[in-house]
Structure 1
Amino acid sequence: MYADETTDRLIGTMLAHYQITAKLGEGGMGVVYRALDTKLDREVALKILPAGVTTTTETRIRFEREVKVIAALNHPNIVTVHAIEHTETHTFFAMELVDGPPLDQLLQTRALPLARYFEIALSLTDAVSCAHDQGITHRDLKPANIVVDKQGRLKVLDFGLAKLKSMAIEDFAQTVALPGSITVEGRIVGTVAYMSPEQAEGKSVDPRSDIFSLGIILYQMATGQIPFRGDTPVSTMSAILKDTPTPVTELNQTLPHHLGRIIRRCLAKDPGRRYQSVRDLHNDLLDLREEIDSGEMSVPAMEANGPRRRLGARRLLVVGLLLVVVAAATVSFWPPGSDTVTPVVPSTPELSVTPLTRSGAIDLACLSPDGKYLAYVRAEDGQRSLWLRQIATGSDLEIVPATAGLLSDPQFSPDGDFIYYHLARGESEKSRGDIHRVPLVGGRSRRVVSGASGEFAISPDGTLAFNRHEDMNRHIMLLSRGEDGETSELVTYSVLTSHELAISPDGSMVATCRIPAAGIGEIVTAVPLDGGPARDFGDELWNGVAGLAWLPDGQSVL
């Protein structure tokens, strides 16, 4: 881009006390050479502003800013700056020479092995987090700026586009480039294929822009492909702004599912729905690797009969609290021919209770399948909104703002990618309304079922069970897979029922309460999802049944 005859002739010459031996590369800030520091007898990398460019005050300011930014950082995975030098003809700085290939050469069209993936991802996110802690946003993170030395250690290079919070220099010309030698002159700072949406629109950026770029790098490391593609810089930026990339777990089915969720959250179009810090991203990656290493979570390549997951400590706490606190009877399924019901007495392990929120405004809440997130309804000033808390960090994010209607019953999808909720049109949570879902990693909320009354339940395969109020208080139980707003009526249970619904652990039955012909009390019953006849959990009458939940054996309910 900036190479010319003057800079090419520097090879073999002395510049100050540096003997230039080879050209290493060039970029938006200048040309990089291998050189020997004759005073200290060590090899270094020199970054030199090309002839003709150093004459502009703007470029000189940008260059000196780059040096000061890098020199302020002290991290084993960030390149070290040794000195800044000025001669009559050149301005340059000497920095640590990293002898190894850039990450883009290692990737090409292949994904990294999972163990190596985590090594690089954790080193990279730790380095960027260190820079963010110093108020520095890189703004041009890409595999070409990440080098892996001969010992396998990662170094992040080229903070030439970094932006200090206290010093922003805007409105300067910059060359942007795409893989495949697509270049264009413009005023957008960064490399197009790795830009955040706000960069593509020329907006002000903050550290969350780097998180989007990290998401692209993590995607490429996992699949060997970049998530947003176009034939031109404009079409690529359009893809970044509008397109939803193919999930990484579809392109590489050996990946753990939760890695796909982490990457999708990084790639949220709205900065507010991404990770709010690289440290949070780093911690999630670290937790996932530890869960895989410990066997708490398995990856598809290691499984013979589908994914398996041990019950995490936080989920055990919630289940234990349910057993201890809920004052309810446990009833066992009444098999054909039985005359009595055998009560189930659950064991109660020693438990501790830790408050997660202290606002006093939390109305309803649910825990994600991996135990890392809490979705909750916040009720303030007569309005309800849906929030997400990352339990490890205590950070909160509003994912559905307060809106018309009564928001209730948040539930995670079995894979943890979505949060479903009911939005009633009346003044009661049981009023007729709609079921919506919103992606955990960001995106618009979408209605999946219309005309649902009261609570709903989600089976392990994602099927929805819900009530619909019709024909003079007759509640008909329908089931839907909830895809693209289409409902598939698998079962119609045409007896008077309550709003309570709970799907069995194996997804074969839904527990509810039917109202007997006398119209007094409720009987807990189970309806097979295959359309078979309903079977009661005994003939006992209950009043005010709430919070139906199956025990893990699939034979009893609380």
Structure 2
Amino acid sequence: MGEVYRAHDPRLGRDVAIKILPAIVSTDSERLRRFEQEARAAAALNHPNILAVHDIGSENGSPYIVSELLEGESLRDRLNSGAVPVRKAVEYAVAIARGLAAAHEKGIIHRDLKPENLFITADGRVKILDFGLAKLAQAEPAPGSGSLMPTSAGGTTPGLVLGTVGYMSPEQVRGQATDQRSDLFAFGAILYEMLAGRRAFHGETSVETMTAILKEEPPELPVADGQLPVALRRIVERCLAKGAAQRFKSADDLAFALESLETASVPPLKGAPEIAPRNRERAWRLAACVSFLIAIALVWPALLYVWRSHPELPLMRVDIVTPPTADPVSFALSPDGRQLAFVANDEGQSRLWVRPFDQAAPRSLTGTEGASLPFWAPDGRSIGFFADGKLKRIGVSGGSPQILADAPAGRGGTWSRDGVIVYAPDTTGVGLMRIAAIGGSAAPLTRLAAGQGTHRWPQFLPDGQRILFNAGQGQPEMRGLYLGWLDGREPRRIMASEEAAVYVP
């Protein structure tokens, strides 16, 4: 929608893109409304994976949007050459998911996500474009009142539904109310297409394609050749679930699941993505080596004593086969390293399971339906987890779970030897909370600083008084790994990081 020109901003000395709605069509109220919608939505967002808008205005009756100038190609152009390699597809997918999470955080749902509206820059970054059909934080249009015009080249079919045939969610096809999970369905269709080199849903006509979205499953992605991790296929399948409730709860959850593929404790299948930049990895290795050498020099006498006084523990290697799961990132190793807690399906429902390494089979814990992100008590006798918008705990031997506190969308918890649980209750807008493991009233532990969107993934350090956590979704200079204190002191930023950290004794 609109015409795009390359231009130069002499004030700042940079090239920009100007999108203009010609005066001849600006009298069309529907096209003008969508053009203004795009401007409002894009201007409200500031994220490296969303096209940056510099200015909006009108000249001689023609509205315009001034944005950053992108050099590269659309994802559709890239897909015309065939499937995307697994590593690169996951790299693109993480970027798209992070961009969607930023939009959803502002109450903006794209509703027309497709390869034509995704741009790959010359240096490999991914940008989300065209918010012309975006739903802002306002009332949903009544079914049948949607746009009758395409949003851009590439196939928004005229009709009484909003979106693009082939990437619409089932609820969009039916003309029902939509939320952020509709974007996640479109995301799944795009990720499927990147991996398979063909569309997830395609028919000879638009009606056949919409019928396929409602009633059919796309051909299964191949994993037998070892090039595609099973966990990645399950992520795609969860995104493409017909029911919105069966998809990921948020784009942030989705991004975390994708990022976890490279950091899972089980070695990834051949072709699993390596998302972390190589230069950062080399820097970490160098810093780790220097720190290790210094530590050895300082504690060498103590090490000699320990080695002489304690027999060497046997090296344990295990290959754990779990029941099917749509949540491969929800697992935790017990403090003594002898048990694994994880989330998997049991009779059609996801539950918490425990697998002692000295036993042949895992067992599920009744009452943990919908569990996610388990974490252990220091004594290994109980497990904390999130389910049904609550923070809960349950004994490893079984029994009824105990509800501890509200946690609408938990983002990690940690349990100290002094019986304190620190947890992240939601995806955005709140800091970490603390509560006694036996129950009681929850209290804030950290507060968001200006420019921060969330505190998440807490982990107690061995002293039981300090906590590592990640601050994300805010301004780049405020995101990173932080050190907090149980006594409520001001957290200290340790380093820039988009991911969580794990303390290694």
Which of the five TM-score ranges fits, normalised by the shorter chain?
Answer: 0.5 to 0.7
Counterpart of 1:199 (choices 159, 166, 172) is: 172
Q: Distance in 2 between matches of 1:209 and 1:224?
A: 22
AA matched with 2:46: N
Q: Residue 62 and residue 257 in structure 1: after superposition, are their counterparts in 2 closer, same or farther (change >3 A)?
A: same
* CA spacing shift, 1:116–1:204, aligned 2, 3 Å: same
Asked whether 1:298 is paired with 2:269, we answer yes
- CA gap of 1:256–1:351, structure 2 versus 1, over 3 A, is closer
The offset of 1:146, in angstroms, is 1.0
Deviations 1:285-318 (A, max 9, x none): 1111223xx762323799xxxxx97459987847
Q: How far, CA to CA, are the matches of 1:109 and 1:208 in structure 2? A: 29
Give the whole-Å Cα distance in 1 for the aligned partners of 2:102 and 2:64. Answer: 25
Asked if 1 retains the 8 angstrom alpha-carbon contact of 2:149 and 2:158, the reply is: yes
Alignment of 1:154 onto 2:119: no
3-state DSSP of counterpart to 2:263: helix
Please show how residues 169-318 of structure 1 align to structure 2 within 5 Å.
171-176=145-150, 184-249=157-222, 254-291=227-264, 296-299=267-270, 310-311=319-320, 317=333
Q: Determine if contact 2:227/2:269 at 8 Å carries over to the other structure.
A: no
Aligned to 1:337: none
Task: Using the TM superposition, name which of 221-230 and 259-268 deviates more.
Answer: 221-230
Aligned with residue 366 of structure 1, among 326, 338, 353: 353
**Distance verdict in 2 for CA 1:390–1:301, change over 3 Å:** closer
Q: Which amino acid aligns with 2:371?
A: R
Following superposition, the deviation at residue 89 of structure 1 comes to 3.0
Structure-2-length-normalised TM-score: 0.56
Q: Please say if residues 249 and 257 of structure 1, whose CA atoms lie closer than 8 Å, have aligned partners that are also in contact.
A: no
Q: How far apart are the structure 1 equivalents of 2:24 and 2:30?
A: 12
Q: Secondary structure at the match of 1:272?
A: helix
The question of 1:89 aligning with 2:61 is answered yes
Q: Distance between the aligned counterparts of 1:353 and 1:114, measured in 2?
A: 28
The CA distance in 2 between the partners of 1:66 and 1:111, in whole Å, is 30
Cα distance, 1:52–1:172 mapped onto 2, change above 3 Å: farther
1:64 match: 36
Contact 1:54/1:60 (8 A) holds in 2: yes
Structure 2: distance between partners of 1:391 and 1:176: 41
1-side partners of 2:355 and 2:251: how far apart?
21
Tell me by how many angstroms 1:178 deviates: 11
Distance 2:332 2:116 in 1: 44
Distance 1:57 1:250, change over 3 A: same
**Letter of the structure 2 residue corresponding to residue 140 of structure 1:** D
1:79 to 27, 51, 56: 51
CA contact (8 A) 1:376 1:388 kept: no
Q: By how many angstroms is 1:39 displaced?
A: 4.3
Structure 1: 5+ residue stretches without partners: 1-28, 303-307, 321-348, 357-361, 379-385, 399-558
Relative distance call for 1:207 and 1:374 in structure 2 (3 A) is: farther
Is the 1:178–1:233 contact (alpha carbons within 8 Å) kept by the matching residues of 2? no
Q: Is the 8 A contact 2:181 2:250 kept in 1?
A: yes
Task: Answer whether contact 1:139 1:209 (CA < 8 A) is retained.
Answer: yes
Closer, same or farther: CA 148–226 of 1 in aligned 2, 3 Å: same
Change (3 A) 1:368 1:61: farther
Residues 173, 241 of structure 1: alpha-carbon distance in 2 compared, 3 angstrom cutoff? same
The correspondence of residues 465-544 of structure 1 with structure 2, limited to 5 A, is none
Deviations 1:513-553 (A, max 9, x none): xxxxxxxxxxxxxxxxxxxxxxxxxxxxxxxxxxxxxxxxx
The residue number in structure 1 matching 2:76 is 104
Q: What is residue 94 of structure 2 aligned with on the other side?
A: 122
Secondary structure at the counterpart of residue 174 of structure 1: coil
Gaps of 5+ in 2: 274-316, 322-328, 344-348, 357-361, 376-384, 390-505
Q: Write the deviation string for residues 60-79 of structure 1: whole angstroms up to 9, x where unpaired.
A: 23322221111111111111
Aligned mates of 1:249, 1:197 — CA distance in 2: 24
Q: 1:62 corresponds to which letter in structure 2?
A: R
C-alpha distance in 2 between matches for 1:128 and 1:251: 31
CA displacement at 1:151 relative to structure 2: 1.0
Aligned AA for 2:149? Answer: T
Contact 2:226 2:270 in 1 (8 A): no
**Bigger-Rg structure (1/2):** 1
| Aligned partners of 2:330 and 2:372 also within 8 Å | no
Which residue type is aligned with residue 131 of structure 1? A
**Aligned residue identity for 2:231:** H
Task: Measure, in 1, the Cα distance between the counterparts of 2:224 and 2:209.
Answer: 20
Q: Which has the higher strand share?
A: 1
1:35/1:44 contact within 8 Å kept = yes
Aligned equivalents of 1:41, 1:142: Cα separation in 2:
33
Aligned amino acid, residue 77 of structure 2: Q
Q: CA RMSD in A?
A: 3.9
- Does the C-alpha gap of structure 1 residues 226 and 392 become closer, same or farther in structure 2, counting only changes over 3 Å? farther
Identity across matched positions, percent:
38
CA distance in 1: counterparts of 2:43 and 2:363, whole angstroms: 40
CA distance in 1, matches of 2:352, 2:218: 30
User: 2:361 aligned with 1:390, yes or no?
Assistant: no
